[in-house]
Amino acid sequence: PAFGLFIFTIARDPLRIIILIAGAFFWLVSLLLSSLIWFIAVKASDPQNEQLQKGLLIFGVMFSVLLQEAFRFLYYKLLRKAIEGLVALSEDGCSPISIQQMAYVAGVGFGLMSGAFSMINLLADALGPGTVGIHGDSQLYFLTSAFMTMVLIFLHTFWGILFFHGCEHRRWWEIAAVVVMHLTVSGLSFCNPLYVGSLVPSYLLMAAVAAWAYLLSGGSAQNLRRFLLCKC
Amino acid sequence: MITFMNNSDSEEEPCNERTSLMSAESPPVPSYQDGLQASEAGEAQAHRKRRAGSSRSPNNIAGGEMSGSGVPVRESVLENEEEELTLKYGAKHVIMLFVPVTLCMIVVVATIKSVRFYTEKNGQLIYTPFSEDTPSVGQRLLNSVLNTIVMISVIIVMTVFLVLLYKYRCYKFIHGWLILSSLMLLFLFTYIYLGEVLKTYNVAMDYPTLFIVIWNFGAVGMICIHWKGPLQLQQAYLIMISALMALVFIKYLPEWSAWVILGAISIYDLMAVLCPKGPLRMLVETAQERNEPIFPALIYSSAMMWTVGMAKPDTAARGPSQQTWDAAEDGREHLRSPSHAESQMSETRSPVPTTRPVTALEELEEEERGVKLGLGDFIFYSVLVGKAAATASGDWNTTLACFVAILIGLCLTLLLLAVFKKALPALPISITFGLIFYFSTDNLVRPFMDTLASHQLYI
């Protein structure tokens, strides 16, 4: 689905593609830094202690979430500057792309990159022979991974919209809400392999955030009804 | 490698198609020269091989191509418009370069992943004489550095040779050289590649069919690259030969040498393009002075407008890139010389003529000047990504990270091109990003992601 989003909404406009790739790049850099921290922490600690490793892992995950949000903020700042540049360059004085579109594309960029990194090795292994969950792990590993990745990609998209909106209108609570939600979702994934604990709340959260982002972008129940009934 | 338009810095081509981004402006047709003073200036900039030219002067140049009478008037008008258009269409040109670079990388990665041949070590090129099978780390490092020095000096010699040839107008020689190397590239490498792919998928093909297929492929390729042909086909061929060349490099360069060579090449690219006495810069400037397009076979152009007047200079331009690599090398391993020739070829320009914006006179739809990127740049980007795919244990994550890093580097380079309006080296920024991301992803991110995945945690 995320790839479909890409094709239908982003691939037409070259500017959006650039913003997308830059968004992915920012996510990547944040991942790099967070894994650097984690790596240092692991090396500095005792490799035999299971509990400690698990604790470090959790710490790493939380830290990574915070870093991702920090980079989202940095990206927002960069895009603001870019919009000013674009406005100055364009002939009729208005930017060819609005900040909301940028927010959307940035969110998709983040989401795609994080989804790709989560899934792609899994997919590559899935092509080969093997049995899922042979050592007593869940048999639904691939399925749940796929769903979790998808929900995370969508969430990143919506968080992007919310985040930028919050920054634009200086509503700090929106930004804080995004950060808290991200932490929550990552935290929920700790419940794995108890999938009901992680997947279901994540999807509920996603639905809520989707509605919120939709309202923020100017949609309304009326628009939705008209769209669904194809009234145009 | 310089990305730039029109100028033929093909010297670097043999091995490294320096990716210079050049403004895609092709030199204006001589008949329009008079009226096109402004455009010439713009073109000169565009021609710098190394620079990636955003479609900057397209207007000027295009104007030049157009009917002569209205040209001078249009020139000035066009110039102003050009400025705006340049930046406005900047995004479009970036995408026009993204697509071929992405395609090339995809081809290389797909081949590396599926065909075993390219990851087996079957000896080394003559250009990297020191082996890396040494017992100690220090020795290995020393050998790779020595290999790099040998390779870079070969490239420098070839580049200087090509520039000298170009300066003294030995066009025929350059031509012949380029033709020979592209010949070898198209036929020999394709034959080997096809053979390996067929072996991998266990598909049988008889010799007559093989002969016909390769003959057609090669002949059409030669025509497309060196003469006229549909733009898409030409671009496709250039992408394919870049991919083939990159595959050869990946196979025959030893591990550590490859990385050191990549780093050294970007430094060399930087110097060769920006220093006043750098060979590539001289090449671009000479080509711009003479208002000739740079050899088409060495440069990839994202847009092209064939005009009658352009055909000749184009063919002349194509020659040199191939010349850099000597056919004399043939005596040695077959694969060696072709690969080098290839690189040289790749360096050369892609079709020089970039589309020129149609002037108002014609009231045609506007064509933007494309951006030109040296084929060497394609090759080295693909080498980086291919090596990441081949040797990284984190597999796809590392490959993906390098891919994004290279694209971002290309973006930044094009941005700088829009700002500076000169031929710029396209290699340094992208390769630096790529190298940083490769090493850090392989060593830092991979254990992190693996641990996360095994616990099925999500960040």
DSSP sequence for B206-269? -HHHHHHHHHHHHHHHHHHHHS---HHHHHHHHHHHHHHHHHHHHHHS-HHHHHHHHHHHHHHH
Residue type, B60: N
* ipTM value greater than 0.85: no
Average pLDDT, chain A: 73
- Tens of each residue's pLDDT in chain B, 459 residues: 554 443 333 333 444 334 444 434 333 333 333 433 333 333 333 333 333 333 333 333 333 333 444 444 444 444 445 554 555 556 677 777 888 888 888 888 888 888 777 777 666 666 667 777 777 888 888 888 888 888 888 888 888 888 888 788 777 888 788 888 888 877 888 888 888 888 888 888 888 888 888 888 888 888 887 777 788 888 888 888 888 888 888 888 877 888 888 888 888 888 888 787 777 778 777 777 777 766 666 777 766 443 333 333 333 333 333 333 333 333 333 333 333 333 443 333 333 333 333 333 333 333 445 677 788 888 888 888 888 888 766 677 888 888 888 888 888 888 888 777 777 787 888 899 888 888 888 888 777 777 777 666 666
CB contact under 8 A, A117 and B449: yes
d(CA B262, CA B178): 24
Tokens of A51: 């509990």
Which residue is it, tokens 């968080």?
A: A159
- CB contacts, 8 Å: A124 with chain B: 395-396
Residue type, B139: Q
How many other C-beta atoms are found inside a 10 Å radius of the C-beta of residue B70?
A: 16
User: Does residue A36 surpass a pLDDT of 80?
Assistant: yes
Binding-face residues of B in 355-384 toward A, CB within 8 A: none
Size of the A and B interface in Cβ pairs below 8 Å: 106
- CB contacts, 8 Å: A34 with chain B: 448, 459
Q: Which residues of B are annotated as catalytic?
A: 269, 377
Query: Residue A22: what pLDDT?
Result: 83
Q: Which residue has the higher pLDDT, B332 or A33?
A: A33
Query: Residue B44: what pLDDT?
Result: 36
User: Does residue A185 surpass a pLDDT of 60?
Assistant: yes
Report for A112-121, A178-187, B198-207, B309-318: range of highest mean pLDDT: B198-207
Query: Residue A103: what pLDDT?
Result: 75
Q: What is the pLDDT of residues A78-111, one digit of tens each?
A: 888 877 777 776 666 556 666 677 777 777 777 7
CB contact under 8 A, A120 and B98: no
Q: How far is B285 from chain A (nearest CA, A)?
A: 29
CB contact under 8 A, B459 and A64: yes
Based on its alpha-carbon atoms, the radius of gyration of chain B, rounded to whole angstroms, reads 21
- CB contacts, 8 Å: B437 with chain A: 28, 32
Tokens of A121: 């090795």
In chain A the first and final C-alpha atoms are separated, in Å, by 24
User: Does residue A119 surpass a pLDDT of 80?
Assistant: no
The answer to whether B396 faces chain A, any CB pair under 8 Å, is: yes
Q: How far is A232 from chain B (nearest CA, A)?
A: 31
- CB contacts, 8 Å: B98 with chain A: 17, 21
- CB contacts, 8 Å: B394 with chain A: 121
d(CA B66, CA B423): 25
In this structure, what DSSP letter does residue B362 have? T
Query: Residue B230: what pLDDT?
Result: 82
Q: Which residue has the higher pLDDT, B78 or A157?
A: A157
- CB contacts, 8 Å: B400 with chain A: 116-117, 120
Residue B4 and residue B47 in contact, taking contact as beta carbons nearer than 8 Å:
yes
List the single best residue of A69, A89, A91, A155 to mutate versus B (max B Cβ within 10 A).
A89
d(CA B87, CA B83): 7
- CB contacts, 8 Å: B396 with chain A: 120-121, 124
| Closest-CA residue to B294 (of B356, B377, B346, B350) | B350
Q: How far is B86 from chain A (nearest CA, A)?
A: 10
Query: Residue A161: what pLDDT?
Result: 78
Tokens of A208: 């809520």
Which residue is it, tokens 């360059």?
A: A89
The answer to whether B445 faces chain A, any CB pair under 8 Å, is: yes
- CB contacts, 8 Å: B109 with chain A: none
Query: Residue A114: what pLDDT?
Result: 77
The answer to whether B419 faces chain A, any CB pair under 8 Å, is: no
The answer to whether B444 faces chain A, any CB pair under 8 Å, is: yes
CB contact under 8 A, B88 and A90: yes
d(CA B375, CA B22): 12
Based on its alpha-carbon atoms, the radius of gyration of chain A, rounded to whole angstroms, reads 19
Query: Residue A10: what pLDDT?
Result: 65
Which residue is it, tokens 């060696």?
A: B336
Query: Residue A130: what pLDDT?
Result: 57
Q: Which residue has the higher pLDDT, B342 or A35?
A: A35
CB contact under 8 A, A145 and B456: yes
List the single best residue of B114, B448, B449, B454 to mutate versus A (max A Cβ within 10 A).
B448
Query: Residue B6: what pLDDT?
Result: 36
Q: Which residues on neighbouring strands pair with residue B299, listed in sequence order?
A: B374
B3 — phi, psi (to 5°)? -105, 125
User: Does residue A159 surpass a pLDDT of 50?
Assistant: yes
Spatial CB neighbours of B182, under 8 Å, sequence gap ≥ 6: B221, B222, B225, B226, B241, B297, B318, B322, B341, B345
Q: How far is A168 from chain B (nearest CA, A)?
A: 25
Using CB atoms, pick whichever of A14, A121, A141 lies closest to residue B395: A121
Band of the pLDDT at A190, cuts 50, 70, 90? low
Using CB atoms, pick whichever of B396, B397, B459 lies closest to residue A61: B459
The answer to whether B126 faces chain A, any CB pair under 8 Å, is: no
The answer to whether B415 faces chain A, any CB pair under 8 Å, is: no
| Residue B362 Cα to chain centre, angstroms | 33
The stretch A39-54 carries a mean pLDDT of: 73
The 10 Å CB-count burial string (b at 16+, else e) for B134-155 is eeeeeebeebbbebbebbbebb
Q: Which residue has the higher pLDDT, A88 or A24?
A: A24
Q: How far is A225 from chain B (nearest CA, A)?
A: 35
Using CB atoms, pick whichever of A90, A121, A189 lies closest to residue B458: A189
Query: Residue B24: what pLDDT?
Result: 40
Q: What is the DSSP string of B71-98?
A: HHHHHHHHHHHHHHHHHHTHHHHHHHHH
